[in-house]
Amino acid sequence: MIFAGEYEHRIDPQGRVAIPARFKMAFIDGIVLGRAYDNCVVVYTPEEWERAAVDISQQPNTSSSARKLARLTFSGAYVGTLDRSGRVVIPMQLREYAGLGEDVIIVGTGRFIEIWSAIAWSEERRTLDTEATDIAERAPHVAPHRELAEIVIRQNEGETGG
């Protein structure tokens, strides 16, 4: 699943937040919450968590920054499940880390989602909006998957009759 969009939600007094309905099925086998690198909470499917964990674990143990990244990532990770209402408890440590109050914004970022305080997301969104061109130009160039390229080529051939 590709996670996309912005959703306004509330954290209830028990620390639970509802996962947007369109995302719930992705978390049927579990959910992993952790500290993101931008003062928000990152939410992974078990498969995506496994991928991220393997990537971090393969970094050289001799690197100080790799060890710190592992500590940051693994010490703040919490495995859970959605309740029958599609909610997950955000542990107090993560709520404090991300400055989450009652009002939060859930943001799709492709392979995972993020939970931001409404105030912090407003600031981040303003930055994204004003720096969009610079962000796009500095982004690493990613080659499209061959399957996607083939689909685009077939679509173009169909449109041109070729």
Question: Concatenated DSSP letters for 9-70?
Answer: EE--TTSEEEPPGGGGGGGTT-EEEEE-TTSSEEEE-HHHHHHHHHHHHTS-TT-HHHHHHH
Confidence band of 152 (pLDDT split at 50, 70, 90):
very low
Q: Which two tokens stand for residue 53?
A: 């964990």
| Average pLDDT value for residue range 112-135 | 94
User: Tell me, what's the pLDDT at 159?
Assistant: 45
Pairing state of beta strands 6-10 and 16-18? Answer: unpaired
pTM of the model: 0.82
Confidence band of 145 (pLDDT split at 50, 70, 90):
low
pLDDT over threshold 80, residue 75? yes
User: Tell me, what's the pLDDT at 134?
Assistant: 86
The domains found in the chain, sorted by start residue, are 6-119 (3.40.1550.20)
